[in-house]
Structure 1
């Protein structure tokens, strides 16, 4: 069985406060996009996991697909999993989390394990804070540590997106080092649901962006270029370094030195 484990973007990302457990409370809108890896899961006599495409650093045991198998595996069945990696890593688009969540779904279906959505959401939460989003895989407001999700009426269906990854690796620790947590005067959900996209530029921000752009000006230059080409809204996603622009109509932009994906939003 094939699955296409897609990426996501953050529309707005507010770092609200540091928690007693060392994490941060945040608010963001996670929005799925169709740029994806390819994941194949088939029944097998013994478990195996193979990767092609972009090389994945680190040991196999640390891969979220491998961890997903260990969470859901039955005692009497196994699968062979093949991941073809297309999404750049450390890009702020949730590729690894998507892989883990899709692996849970596909293993459950292929082996007919009978897990319902609520159980899959609970298993996904053990993999990582944003993995449950990819079980839902629809626009959701993300709260607290990034692990609480709420419904939203925001829809960008029919709009077009251009995503540009300059292959600058930004660690989470590096991203947080440039942020002073600040409570939002108005919940992001209210801002996004009550403000036309044409006005998001002045009302919706990613708190990581200013500090990262100061260190890596190229990220800001890409954002400026997207606006110059007519983007309704442009932003860095997550902790970077991917930058996206949302457009009212399809177009083809050239960023020859970077990884670029363009497509229609659902």
Structure 2
């Protein structure tokens, strides 16, 4: 069985407080986009993880797909060992949630393949144990997120009338470092309200708290954002803690921008 985990972008991101558990409270809007990995599971197998495409760092035994399998197997010991292969296409460390998507899709794949009968709420509970962004990919539709990012509220937000440009210059931003640069502060207006404004107004009122420190450390990201605006984007922002930059353009009006050959560039029309 094969599935195609997709990425997400953040539309606005504010760090609103520091929690007693060491995490931060935030508010953001998650929006799914069809830039995907490919995840294949073969059963019966020997419980191994292999990958292709973008190199996946770290020990394979620590991969979130394997962790998802072990998490479900604790409650369903009848699960047969499986062979897992991930073809990685979503840039890593880019603020696009690729690893979280892989884990969430693994949960759903196991549920389907082994007919476990897990409901969405149960899948979300498993996903929350794997990472703060993982629950979003169970719903995989526009959501207003608070808490660590796991408290999700469905949002009526249709951006099908626009095209998206994602540019990742290969810079890895350490999320822990990025959070340490932020002094938590509630925004003047709730993002939940601001996101209802016309997209053409977002550049005035919706921001990402991570941009100031990350752009200071990596000025090329600010240059990418500025280039998008100069070439017709109605809204542009870094996604998550970076380093992917997202531009929203009028439908089918993404300019032919000559980016550095080392950048990974995705267009979604």
With structure 1 as the length reference, what TM-score do the two structures score?
0.95
Q: What SS class does the counterpart of residue 99 from structure 1 fall into? A: helix
Deviation, 1:45, is: 4.3
Question: Quick check: 1:165 aligned with 2:168?
Answer: yes
8 Å Cα contact 1:231/1:245 also seen in 2:
yes
Aligned residues: 263
Match of 2:222 in 1: 220
Deviation, 1:131, is: 0.3
Match of residue 204, structure 1, among 203, 206, 220: 206
Deviation, 1:233, is: 0.3
Deviation, 1:44, is: 1.1
Q: Is there any run of 5+ residues in structure 1 with no aligned partner, and where?
A: none
Deviation, 1:24, is: 1.1
* Deviation digits for residues 119-151 of structure 1 (CA, Å, limit 9, x no counterpart): 111111111111010000000011011110012
Question: Quick check: 1:253 aligned with 2:253?
Answer: no
Match of 1:85 in 2: 88
Q: What SS class does the counterpart of residue 225 from structure 2 fall into? A: helix
Distance in 2, matches of 1:125 and 1:51, equals 24
Distance in 1, matches of 2:65 and 2:136, equals 16
Match of 2:186 in 1: 183
Deviation, 1:48, is: 2.3
The alpha-carbon distance between structure 1 residues 230 and 67, as it changes in their structure 2 partners (threshold 3 A), is: same
Q: What SS class does the counterpart of residue 218 from structure 1 fall into? A: helix
8 Å Cα contact 2:49/2:61 also seen in 1:
no
* Deviation digits for residues 32-51 of structure 1 (CA, Å, limit 9, x no counterpart): 01111001122214322221
8 Å Cα contact 2:173/2:242 also seen in 1:
yes
8 Å Cα contact 1:141/1:152 also seen in 2:
yes
Question: Quick check: 1:56 aligned with 2:95?
Answer: no
The alpha-carbon distance between structure 1 residues 78 and 111, as it changes in their structure 2 partners (threshold 3 A), is: farther
Distance in 2, matches of 1:254 and 1:32, equals 26
CA RMSD, Structure 1 to Structure 2 (Å): 1.2
Match of 1:32 in 2: 32
8 Å Cα contact 2:46/2:82 also seen in 1:
yes
